[in-house]
């Protein structure tokens, strides 16, 4: 079942890409089931957003289904995500999977946009150089991105968990904030850059989004996210993802429904009605 409001277009303005992979999860896996669960949950959401006064059906958005990542090593997974995103015209929107999938998308877009900046919403800093010997892990993803782009091109919002060393390393990022607000200095630093937005669902408070592998108290609110989207809609977003929803940890299905709603709002904020629509 494709995501809400998507269709088949020759030149889509945005393309959803499922990345069902959770082999680098460190505590509770299950995010490999998220793409299917979020598509299913999207049936409970309307295509029209009363907040943005915009409708998904006015936009040319395709759902390309899931990548085949079964049995992949983390390196092979990153390469498959990279290759698919590199081959995608239109805004790539990756549905994880665990957070390690983000690096594949960022690697592809950094080739296309040498001045790429990355904004991550995440409870966790993910700045470890390695996790129990693993170079590619959902716990090292921002470190890998920062190594690739430079820390001054990376910002993390909603952050409230990390080792002492990770917090020390975070000081060199463009921004690190516990709230969902992009601090003014980071707004300026990101103003002229193409931006990739990565949304780890655990940035939200666990009372809102309990269905994730590593829930962490004192998270951001949905209202904070909506305000951030308003700010980011004025920037140039060239790719985005939503990761770390774990359906087995989400018996009521509410986290998948929130994820579908967040994706609708992201698509409506980042894809413009003037963008190509070819049947």
Nearest Cα neighbor of 103 from 143, 160, 161 is 143
From first CA to last CA, the distance across the chain in angstroms is: 20
* CA separation for the pair 99, 101 (Å, rounded): 5
* CA separation for the pair 43, 54 (Å, rounded): 18
Q: Which range, of 29-37, 124-132, 245-253, 258-266, touches Mn ion by CB under 5 A? A: 124-132
User: Coil, helix or strand for 176?
Assistant: strand
Nearer to Mn ion, 201 or 229 (CB): 201
Residue from 22, 63, 66, 200 touching Mn ion (CB under 5 A): that is 200
Cβ 91 to Mn ion, closest distance in Å? 23
Residue from 66, 166, 202, 241 touching Mn ion (CB under 5 A): that is 202
Nearest Cα neighbor of 161 from 132, 127, 114 is 127
Answer yes or no whether residue 166 interacts with Mn ion by CB under 5 A.
no
b/e per residue, 47-68, with b = 16+ CB within 10 A? bbbeebebebeebbbbbbebbe
Whose CB is nearest to Mn ion? 124
Answer yes or no whether residue 98 interacts with Mn ion by CB under 5 A.
no
Q: How far is CA 71 from CA 23, 67, 77, 279, in A?
A: 9, 12, 9, 36
Residue from 63, 66, 122, 265 touching Mn ion (CB under 5 A): that is 122
Nearer to Mn ion, 26 or 64 (CB): 26
Answer yes or no whether residue 241 interacts with Mn ion by CB under 5 A.
no
Cβ 169 to Mn ion, closest distance in Å? 16
Nearer to Mn ion, 202 or 241 (CB): 202
Nearer to Mn ion, 26 or 52 (CB): 26
Answer yes or no whether residue 80 interacts with Mn ion by CB under 5 A.
no
Cβ 140 to Mn ion, closest distance in Å? 12
Answer yes or no whether residue 124 interacts with Mn ion by CB under 5 A.
yes
Nearer to Mn ion, 49 or 212 (CB): 212
* CA separation for the pair 208, 139 (Å, rounded): 22
* CA separation for the pair 194, 129 (Å, rounded): 26
- Residues of the shown chain interacting with Mn ion in the complex, contacts defined by CB under 5 A: 122-124, 200, 202
């Amino acid at each position: 079942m494709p995501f809400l409001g998507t269709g088949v277009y020759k030149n889509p303005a945005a393309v959803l890409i499922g990345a069902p992979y959770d082999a680098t999860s460190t505590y509770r896996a299950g995010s490999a089931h998220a793409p299917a669960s979020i598509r299913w949950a999207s049936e409970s959401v309307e295509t029209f957003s009363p907040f943005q006064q915009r409708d998904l059906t006015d936009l040319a958005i395709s759902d390309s289904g899931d990548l085949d990542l079964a049995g992949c090593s983390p390196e092979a997974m990153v390469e498959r995500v990279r290759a698919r995103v590199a081959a995608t015209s239109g805004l790539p929107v990756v549905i994880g999977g665990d957070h390690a999938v983000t690096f594949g998308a960022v690697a592809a877009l950094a080739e296309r946009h040498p001045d790429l900046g990355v904004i991550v919403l995440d409870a966790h800093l993910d700045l470890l150089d390695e996790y129990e010997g693993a170079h590619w892990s959902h716990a090292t993803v921002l470190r890998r991105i920062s190594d690739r782009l430079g820390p001054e091109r990376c910002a993390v919002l909603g952050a409230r968990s990390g080792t002492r060393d990770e917090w020390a390393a975070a000081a060199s990022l463009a921004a690190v904030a516990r709230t969902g607000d992009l601090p003014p200095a980071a707004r300026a630093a990101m103003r002229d850059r193409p931006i990739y937005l990565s949304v780890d669902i655990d940035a939200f408070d666990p009372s809102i989004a309990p269905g994730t592998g590593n829930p962490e108290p004192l998270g951001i609110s949905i209202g904070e996210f909506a305000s951030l989207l308003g700010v980011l809609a004025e920037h140039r977003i060239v790719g985005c993802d939503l990761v770390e929803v774990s359906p087995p940890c989400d018996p009521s299905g509410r986290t998948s429904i929130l994820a579908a709603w967040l994706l609708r709002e992201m698509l409506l904020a980042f894809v413009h009605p003037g963008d190509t629509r070819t049947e």
